[in-house]
Amino acid sequence: MKTISKVLIVIAVLFLIIPYALTELFAAGFISVDHQHDLLSLQLRGLTDSGVANISIPLIAIALITEIFFNQFSNTPFNKKDFRVNILLGLALIVSAFIVKGVELLIFFQAWSYSLFDIPVNILSWLTCWLAYDFLFYWFHRLGHEINFLWASHNTHHSSIEFNLTVGARNNILHVFYRFLFWMPLCFLGFHPIMVMTIDSLCTTQQFFLHTQKIRKLWLLDYVIGTPSNHRVHHGSNEQYIDKNYGAFLMIWDHLFGTFSSESEPVKYGLTTGAVSYSFFNLVFGYWIQMFHRFRGGESFIKIFFGRPSK
């Protein structure tokens, strides 16, 4: 318990210090940009990337605690091993994300300094940025299933045979070191980096709450937006559910590109290989180690790195 308390204190300090330290650096001019929009003018009454995190983390914590108590009182089967490793992966992800956040911010502002257009900050630009982000996320997510080195990190999220809110925290710490590069084109176009990062935080929070079996089908909404039903399908290893429903908020991209599927039969969760692990190390590095052994065995690097994954 003492170790857990120390970890939580470190995380709390990171949440309190890093976002505001970066904001002050920009405001004081230690980190400069060439565009006319000031960082502080984009806070929109506190709705910045750090502001979203400060709101979403307590909400997520409350939701997790509520789910645990609900399972206890309703005698719902609860996989404690899965729960423990999911929470551990989630805590590690938070620490990794905040370590990378400063680098991400600097890269985004550097890209923004060479932007093609000077996009003003208003309601229309926020909506346009959100729509563009949603489109890019679809392809980021889809490529994460179709290219082996991207699946090497994303498979961690899909390897659980359970489906509850803790699975929303079950992510590989390695993917935070490259996922933000998929949103960088938005900064090149001219969307403000804080706008892009805020939308990313909102999207990440929204997707966390899709990992539940408590909310059943929502009928018409299931065809329009990302819902728990749609995401259950995405996590399914049933043949008709594999590589379906990549969309974050809107399902329009899945309809356009032929990857939409509704929930028509009970979902079998986990990988098609049936592999199950509760080891933090194996969940983070296991697939990468398999790729390395395949390379040492004589397989082509291009095939191993860029080929389609085996799920």
Res. 274: pLDDT tops 50? yes
Q: In this predicted structure, what is the pLDDT of residue 150?
A: 96
Res. 99: pLDDT tops 50? yes
Q: How confident is the model at residue 264 (pLDDT cuts 50, 70, 90)?
A: very high
Between the alpha carbon of residue 165 and those of residues 40, 84, 226, 231, the distances in Å are 34, 13, 15, 12
Res. 5: pLDDT tops 90? no
Residues paired with 236 in a beta bridge:
269
Tell me what the mean pLDDT of segment 52-63 comes to. 72
Other Cβ atoms less than 10 A from the Cβ of 239: the count is 8
**Distant-in-sequence, close-in-space partners of 129: CB < 8 Å, separation ≥ 6:** 186, 191, 195, 196, 199
pLDDT digits (tens, 9 = 90+) for 34-55: 444 444 444 443 445 555 556 6
Q: In this predicted structure, what is the pLDDT of residue 216?
A: 92
Other Cβ atoms less than 10 A from the Cβ of 149: the count is 16
Query: Range with the lowest mean pLDDT among 66-70, 82-86, 225-229, 273-277?
Result: 66-70
Between the alpha carbon of residue 175 and those of residues 118, 156, 264, the distances in Å are 30, 10, 31
- First vs last Cα of the chain: how many Å apart? 36
Q: How confident is the model at residue 260 (pLDDT cuts 50, 70, 90)?
A: very high
Kindly report the average pLDDT of the chain as a whole number: 84
Domain ranges of the chain: 2-306
With 0-12 CB in 10 A as exposed, 13-18 as middle and 19+ as buried, what is 1?
exposed
Q: What is the distance, to the nearest Å, from the Cα of residue 279 to the centroid of all Cα atoms in its chain?
A: 21
Tell me what the mean pLDDT of segment 217-225 comes to. 93
Q: How confident is the model at residue 97 (pLDDT cuts 50, 70, 90)?
A: confident
Q: In this predicted structure, what is the pLDDT of residue 192?
A: 93
Give yes or no for a contact between 220 and 251, defined as CB atoms under 8 angstroms apart.
no
pLDDT digits (tens, 9 = 90+) for 62-85: 887 888 777 777 777 778 899 999
Q: What DSSP string describes 1-59? A: -HHHHHHHHHHHHHHHHHHHHHHHHHHHTSS--SSS--GGGG-TTT-SHHHHHHHHHHH
Q: In this predicted structure, what is the pLDDT of residue 51?
A: 54
The one-letter amino acid at 127: L
Residue 220, both tokens: 């018409």
Q: How confident is the model at residue 116 (pLDDT cuts 50, 70, 90)?
A: very high
Residue whose structure tokens are 């990337």: 49
pLDDT digits (tens, 9 = 90+) for 140-155: 999 999 999 999 999 9
Tell me what the mean pLDDT of segment 128-151 comes to. 96
Res. 12: pLDDT tops 50? no
Query: Range with the lowest mean pLDDT among 16-25, 63-72, 114-123?
Result: 16-25
pTM of the model: 0.82
Tell me what the mean pLDDT of segment 186-209 comes to. 92
Q: At residue 236, what are phi and psi to the nearest 5 degrees?
A: -75, 145
Residue whose structure tokens are 């390379």: 295
CA proximity to 208, closest of 89, 19, 57: 57
Query: Range with the lowest mean pLDDT among 17-21, 231-235, 260-264?
Result: 17-21
Query: Range with the lowest mean pLDDT among 16-25, 45-54, 252-261?
Result: 16-25
Q: What percent of the chain lies above the pLDDT cut of 90?
A: 63
CA proximity to 145, closest of 169, 100, 175: 175
Using alpha carbons only, what angle is made at residue 51 by residues 215 and 235, rounded to the nearest 5 degrees? 30
Q: In this predicted structure, what is the pLDDT of residue 52?
A: 58
Residue whose structure tokens are 């699946």: 151
